[in-house]
Amino acid sequence: MPAPLPAAAIAALDGRVRLHRLWEQDDPAAYLARIAPRVRGLAGKPAGRVDAALFDRLPALEIVANFGVGYDAVDAVAAAARGIVVTNTPGVLDEEVADLAVGLLLATIRRLPQADRYVRDGKWPHAPFPLSPTLRGRRAGILGLGAIGTAVARRLEAFGLSIAYHGRHRQDGVDYAYHDTPAALAAACDVLIATVPGGAGTRHLVDAGVLAALGADGVFINVARGSVVDQAALIAALQGGTILAAGLDVFDDEPQVPDALIALPNTVLLPHIGSASTQTRAAMGQLVADNLIAWFEQGRPLTPVPETPVPSQRR
């Protein structure tokens, strides 16, 4: 375990597997080098990418149990080529991230953090807080209608917003309007919410053209990955009034957030907390532990990612 997972996950693994707590070692890199030939599983991931270079150093590795539903930091194809199983944590965080997305949307449009600062700064007695834009009458566009996107859409329907979406395909049995490009979706909505997976396939899906299509009253919300938006184009669009505002939980080079975004009055910036409640993180940690135990004790991971080959003799 490279970094500490929630206590429940550690407790679930302790005693069932020989758990090496890398973060507790004086020199984690040297410790890893020493145990590398015997490491059979990763519980969560080390900083940086989990790719062929790491797999070369861990010849006995059988499974990478990713802590999170998004596994863009793991090269699942390279893992598959070596018969290494990759698992993620679907299903246990969708509603939590959707809650956060809606909270971030409201905070961005109604300027809740700015209003809170206004009270704390003692400004209220001198003048009322300036009027904000409204969520009323807006049309929402969901970029990536997976489990999280669907949970966001359901919530926004209850808020009275119309819903449209873009994804690789139109989905059977879904009544929301489908647009076959991100730009077409952006042109048809005034709140664009990114809930697509990260990785090469979605890199810069939201670019300068999409932001221009979203328009001067448009609000962009990102609870997906920083890589999904061209961050430089986003900064320019926010500075120049191409769009109205953005609420961002994810960034290109986390935990670094560009000064230009921090300086803007029309951004709400969060430190990647979509799934970060005590309860949901515990559920994610438990699923990491359960995947490892299921693999080592029954030869079957619970939630392998689509790229993963569960070796045929074990299917």
Among 67, 165, 176, 295, binds ligand 8YV (CB under 6 A): 67
Q: Are 34 and 68 in contact (CB under 8 A)?
A: no
Amino acid at 236: A
Which residue lies nearest ligand 8YV, judged by its C-beta? 68
| Residue 69 interacting with ligand 8YV (CB under 6 A) | yes
How far apart are the C-alpha atoms of 282 and 143, rounded to whole Å?
Answer: 28
| Residue 285 interacting with ligand 8YV (CB under 6 A) | no
Residues 77-136 that bind ligand 8YV (CB under 6 A): 93
Q: Are 200 and 78 in contact (CB under 8 A)?
A: no
- As measured in angstroms, the least distance from the Cβ of 281 to ligand 8YV is 8
Q: Are 101 and 119 in contact (CB under 8 A)?
A: no
- As measured in angstroms, the least distance from the Cβ of 108 to ligand 8YV is 19
Q: Are 21 and 5 in contact (CB under 8 A)?
A: no
Q: Which is nearer to ligand 8YV, 9 or 192 (CB)?
A: 9
- As measured in angstroms, the least distance from the Cβ of 115 to ligand 8YV is 28
Question: Residue 7, class by beta-carbon neighbours within 10 Å (0-12 exposed, 13-18 middle, 19+ buried)?
Answer: exposed
Q: Which is nearer to ligand 8YV, 213 or 221 (CB)?
A: 221
Q: Which of 265, 190, 224 is nearest to 94 (CA)?
A: 224
Q: Which two tokens stand for residue 251?
A: 């960034």
Taking residue 119's Cβ as centre, other Cβ atoms within 10 Å add up to 11
Number of residues that this document lists for the chain = 315
Where does this chain touch ligand 8YV (CB under 6 A) — which range of 8-16, 61-69, 136-144, 150-158? Answer: 61-69
Instruction: Using CA atoms of 289, 293, 299, 303 in order, give the dihedral in degrees to the nearest 10.
Output: -20
Among 242, 267, 275, 291, binds ligand 8YV (CB under 6 A): 275
Q: Which is nearer to ligand 8YV, 208 or 302 (CB)?
A: 302
Contacts of 235 (CB under 8 A, 6+ apart): 258, 260, 261, 264
| Residue 204 interacting with ligand 8YV (CB under 6 A) | no
Residue 281 is classified by DSSP as H
Where does this chain touch ligand 8YV (CB under 6 A) — which range of 66-74, 77-85, 188-196, 306-314? Answer: 66-74
| Residue 226 interacting with ligand 8YV (CB under 6 A) | no
- As measured in angstroms, the least distance from the Cβ of 287 to ligand 8YV is 11
| Residue 247 interacting with ligand 8YV (CB under 6 A) | no
Q: Which is nearer to ligand 8YV, 66 or 267 (CB)?
A: 66
Q: Are 50 and 277 in contact (CB under 8 A)?
A: no
Taking residue 301's Cβ as centre, other Cβ atoms within 10 Å add up to 23
Q: Which is nearer to ligand 8YV, 69 or 109 (CB)?
A: 69
Partnered with residue 177 across adjacent β-strands are: 164
Among 70, 218, 247, 285, binds ligand 8YV (CB under 6 A): 70
| Residue 272 interacting with ligand 8YV (CB under 6 A) | yes
Catalytic residues: 225, 254, 272
Q: How many chain residues interact with ligand 8YV (CB under 6 A)?
A: 8
- Where does this chain bind ligand 8YV (CB under 6 A)? 67-70, 93, 272, 274-275
